[in-house]
């Protein structure tokens, strides 16, 4: 296992402190040696771990340790048994999407309520193993919740650079509740990344944002677990939301590795869905360009997608678009809230950013990119309770489910009968 620069190809040891980017400015990528990896042996190993409970390798990330961070000593793993999330089929969602089969992979069921846990358990374990005592990130709210949770679990310090505005209050409060030190900043996520890129190392901070290649390694487990749950037969398409593009990078990389090892033989395509007000990657791909023009003031109801300059775009371009024959789409806030209401009402539930998947899928089916005879898995990234303000907005779009009644002593059964009509 080593680091390789995505841009100039320079190699570096993965155990060097302060290393996220190459001197040339390119992103580092983790390169594994899978030449002696046996697919059938791995399948048996992963199956065997399914019967373990509360051991370091029993979670949905570290179960796949050999493909994620083979060199980390098992006793240095900081885990909340993240992953292990549900995979659901629902007839009304399938109909709304208009495809042959549709699965929802609910990363929203992670311990801190978002898929960030899949990557964070690896980044935090790695950083503390390297000897750092302080962890840092900037965030639209879910990265910070996740990092603060693991830092607290490991008795390490969390320093969070959180935009003062535009972050859901639920996420900011969750982060603070885990005991993190909060720096509320002007500007947004993009400004926070610039600050950490420049000053983190001199402040002794280990950066747990997705420019950290170990985050990407951990998030590959989303597609590993999906493939495992589907008995190593993946659907035609995997649809995910795109903000900082860590998942697009990680799932694309994970698919390539599954094929390289021989764990799967199909080649699912990836669709990355952005919110219209924060869609620099979609605009780049659509226009056939190979360099990204940032969106200066990203804006969308899906606060997790409020990113104008996604740092991982070169990785996402390579792994999700070039290697996985991927496509992009953008959706409006109205489409996102409408899709969210559908996902909530079928009992799965999600925060707005996750609903961009279903909204984008509907667009791609309507436009003929995805066929009605094809099979699809959508990745739901964040929990319903992550953004209560958005719940109110989505509810206002539909008919109300609530009747106001007098005190129970004066409540007549007729009122209830009327409601049930
Ligand atoms: C972080 C986040 C995203 C964006 O994912 P990227 O990997 O940054 O593109 C989407 N949805 C939710 C809920 C998130 O927390
Ligand atoms: Zn380089």
Q: Quick one: 14 and 103 in the same domain?
A: no
Rg of the chain over Cα atoms, rounded to whole angstroms, equals: 21
- Whether residue 246 is found in the same domain as residue 338: yes
- Regarding beta strands 28-31 and 2-5, do their DSSP bridges make them parallel or antiparallel, or are they unpaired? antiparallel
What's the pLDDT at 337? 95
Separation of 172 CA from ligand 1 center, angstroms?
A: 16
Domain containing residue 299: CATH number: 3.40.50.1100
Judgement on whether residues 21 and 92 belong to the same structural domain of the protein? no
Give Cβ neighbours of residue 33 (< 8 Å, ≥ 6 apart). Answer: 1
Residue (of 67, 188, 161, 105) closest to 382 by Cα position: 105
Task: For the chain, report the end-to-end CA distance as a whole number of angstroms.
Answer: 63
Q: Among 115, 139, 274, which residue has the most ligand 1 atoms within 8 Å of its CB, making it the best to mutate?
A: 115
390 part of a folded domain: yes
- Whether 257 is covered by a domain: the verdict is yes
Ligand 1 pocket: which of 221, 246, 328 to mutate (most atoms <8 Å of CB)?
246
In this structure, are 12 and 104 located in the same domain?
no
Note whether 259 and 225 are within 8 A (CB). Answer: no
pLDDT for residue 397:
82
Residues forming a β-bridge with 89: 103
Q: Say which DSSP state 107 is in.
A: G
Phi, psi of 157 (to 5 degrees): -95, 140
Mean pLDDT per block of 10 residues along the chain (421 residues) reads: 96 90 94 96 98 95 98 98 98 98 98 98 98 96 98 98 92 97 90 91 95 97 98 98 98 98 96 98 97 96 95 97 97 96 96 98 98 98 96 82 79 86 82
Q: Give the model's pLDDT for residue 412.
A: 85
Tokens of residue 30, six digits? 């983790």
Q: Among the residues of 81-212, which ranges form H helices? A: 91-97, 116-130, 142-153, 169-177, 189-199
Q: What are the angstrom distances between the C-alpha of 107 and each of 175, 223, 391, 404?
A: 18, 11, 19, 35
Lookup: tokens for 199 = 């000053």
Which pLDDT belongs to residue 415? 84
Domain limits at 14? 1-31
Which residues, other chains included, contact 333 with Cβ-Cβ below 8 Å and sequence gap of 6+?
275, 276, 277, 300, 301, 302, 352
Centre of ligand 1 to C-alpha 95, Å, is 25
Quick one: CA torsion of 124, 49, 258, 99, rounded to 10 degrees? -100
| 91 shares a domain with 23 | no
For residue 406, being part of any structural domain is answered with no
pLDDT at position 399, please?
Answer: 66
Query: Does some domain include residue 43?
Result: no
**Residue 180 alpha carbon to ligand 1 centre in Å:** 21
Give the number of the ligand closest to the Cα of residue 19: 2
Q: What is the pLDDT of residue 146?
A: 98
Cite the beta strand spans of 221-305 per DSSP E. 237-241, 269-275
pLDDT (0 to 100) of residue 407: 83
pLDDT at 17: 86
Query: How far is residue 208's CA from residue 281's CA, in Å, rounded to a whole number?
Result: 22
User: Which of 34, 41, 40, 120 is CA-nearest to residue 70?
Assistant: 34
Residue in the structure block whose two tokens are 């549709």: 102
Query: What is each CA distance from 259 to 263, 323, 333, 418, in whole angstroms?
Result: 6, 11, 36, 57
Number of domains forming the structure of the chain: 2
Q: Are residues 360 and 295 in the same domain?
A: yes
**Best residue among 105, 138, 247, 378 to mutate for probing ligand 1, ranked by most atoms within 8 Å of CB:** 247
Decide if 102 is inside a domain: yes
Residue 4 CA to ligand 2 center (angstroms) comes to 8
Q: Are the CB atoms for 143 and 137 separated by under 8 Å?
A: yes
For residue 304, the ligand closest to its alpha carbon is: 1
- Ligand 1 site, residue 242, Cβ cutoff 6 A: yes
> Could you tell me if residue 194 is inside a domain?
no
Instruction: Please tell me the residue having the least CA distance from ligand 1 atom 2.
Output: 304
Residue 225 lies in a domain: yes
Structure confidence at residue 410 (pLDDT) = 82
Using DSSP's 3-state secondary structure scheme, residue 149 falls into helix
> pLDDT tens, 301-330?
999 999 999 999 999 999 999 999 999 999
Q: Supply the pTM of this predicted model.
A: 0.96
Q: Looking at the structure, tell me whether residues 21 and 106 fall in a common domain.
A: no
Residue 21 Cα, ligand 2 centroid: separation in angstroms? 8
Residue 180 lies in a domain: no
Tell me how far apart the alpha carbons of residues 20 and 207 are, in angstroms, rounded to a whole number: 8
């Amino acid at each position: 296992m080593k680091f390789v620069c995505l841009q100039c190809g320079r190699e570096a040891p993965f155990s060097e402190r302060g290393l996220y980017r190459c001197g040339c400015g390119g992103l580092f990528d983790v390169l594994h040696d899978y030449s002696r990896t046996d697919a059938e042996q791995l399948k048996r190993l992963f199956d065997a771990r399914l019967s373990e409970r509360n051991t370091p390798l029993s979670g949905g990330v570290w179960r796949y340790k050999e493909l994620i961070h083979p060199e980390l000593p098992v006793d240095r793993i900081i885990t909340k048994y993240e992953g292990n999330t549900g995979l659901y089929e629902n007839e009304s969602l399938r109909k709304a999407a208009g495809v042959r089969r549709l699965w929802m992979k609910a990363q929203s069921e992670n311990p801190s309520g978002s898929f960030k846990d899949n990557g964070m358990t690896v980044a935090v374990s790695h950083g503390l193993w390297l000897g750092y005592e302080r962890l840092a990130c900037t965030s639209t709210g879910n990265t910070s919740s996740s990092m603060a949770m693991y830092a607290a679990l490991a008795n390490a310090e969390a320093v969070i650079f959180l935009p003062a505005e535009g972050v859901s209050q639920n996420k900011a409060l969750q982060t603070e509740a885990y005991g993190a030190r909060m720096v509320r900043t002007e500007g947004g996520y993009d400004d926070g990344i610039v600050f950490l890129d420049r000053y983190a190392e001199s402040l002794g901070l280990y950066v747990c944002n997705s420019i950290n290649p170990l985050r990407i390694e951990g998030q590959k487990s989303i597609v590993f677990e999906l493939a495992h749950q589907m008995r190593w037969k993946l659907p035609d398409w995997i649809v995910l939301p795109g903000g900082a593009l860590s998942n697009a990078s990680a799932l694309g990389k994970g698919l390539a590795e599954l094929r390289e090892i021989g764990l799967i033989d199909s080649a699912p395509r990836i669709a990355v869905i952005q919110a219209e007000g924060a869609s620099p990657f979609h605009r780049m791909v659509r226009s056939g360009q190979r360099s990204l023009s940032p969106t200066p003031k990203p804006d969308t109801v899906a606060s997790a997608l409020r990113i104008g300059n996604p740092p991982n775009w070169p990785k996402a371009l390579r792994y999700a678009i070039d290697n996985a024959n991927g496509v992009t789409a953008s959706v409006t806030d109205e489409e996102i809230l409408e899709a969210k209401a559908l996902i909530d009402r079928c009992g799965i539930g999600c925060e707005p950013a996750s609903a961009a998947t279903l909204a984008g899928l509907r667009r791609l089916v309507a436009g003929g990119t995805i066929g009605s005879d094809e099979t699809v898995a959508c990745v739901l990234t964040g929990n319903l309770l992550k953004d209560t303000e958005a719940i109110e907005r989505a509810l206002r779009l539909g008919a109300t489910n609530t009747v106001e009644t007098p005190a129970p002593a004066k409540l007549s059964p007729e009122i209830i009968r009327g409601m049930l009509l």
